[in-house]
């Protein structure tokens, strides 16, 4: 038996017309996944220094949240309306009395390359 598959320019046009929607969905999920993972890392860094065993500002780590601004824009970090989230300024960048903790900065160091890779993978997957 012989099977002949013929692709025309119409098939290509139909396939390509689906790519923008697929790309948007892929990028949105990549940004969401990485924002949540970045928040988990930052929260973990913050937890190292604000433990439940008597350290001050013990409700600082639980104030870390990640939420969507739009589909492609996410924001994560301490929420000043939750617990000790309002202490973020002095912890993240330090103060006269305390060195910078860089919880968010360090989470970005780790997460930013992963976001770049995930974004690249979204493009790769469009054509396979």
Partner 1 sequence: MTATNAQVAALLAMLNADLASLSTPRSAYERDDAPTSGRDYVILDISRMAGGNLRGDVLSPSRWRLTVRPVGSVTNVRALLDRCTNALEHKRVTVAGQESTGISFETESAMSESSSQVGLWSAGRSFTYAY
CA atoms of 116 and 20, how far apart (whole Å): 19
DSSP structure class, residue 77: E
The CA-based dihedral angle spanning residues 75, 81, 61, 96, taken in that order and rounded to the nearest 10 degrees: 100
CB of 107: closest distance to partner 1 in angstroms? 10
Q: Which is nearer to partner 1, 62 or 90 (CB)?
A: 90
Shortest distance (Å) from residue 113 CB to partner 1? 9
Give the pair of three-digit tokens for residue 128: 């396979």
Q: Which is nearer to partner 1, 89 or 121 (CB)?
A: 89
77 φ, ψ (degrees, to nearest 5)? 140, -175
Contact between 56 and partner 1 by CB under 8 A: the answer reads no
**Least distance in angstroms from the C-beta of 99 to partner 1:** 5
Could you say which residues in the range 84-113 bind partner 1, by CB under 8 A? 89-90, 92-97, 99-100, 102, 105-106, 109-110
Nearer to partner 1, 42 or 122 (CB): 42
End-to-end CA gap in the chain: 27
């Amino acid at each position: 038996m012989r099977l002949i598959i013929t692709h025309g320019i119409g098939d290509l046009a139909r396939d390509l017309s689906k790519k923008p929607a697929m790309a948007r969905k892929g990028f949105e999920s990549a940004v969401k996944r990485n924002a949540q993972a970045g928040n988990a890392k930052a929260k973990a860094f913050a937890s190292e220094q604000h433990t439940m065993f008597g350290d001050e500002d013990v409700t600082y780590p639980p104030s870390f949240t990640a939420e969507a601004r739009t589909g492609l824009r996410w924001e994560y970090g301490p929420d000043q309306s939750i617990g000790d989230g309002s202490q973020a300024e002095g912890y993240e960048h330090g103060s006269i009395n305390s060195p910078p903790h860089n919880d968010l900065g360090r989470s970005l160091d780790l997460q930013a390359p992963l976001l770049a890779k995930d974004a690249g993978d979204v493009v790769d997957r469009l054509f396979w």
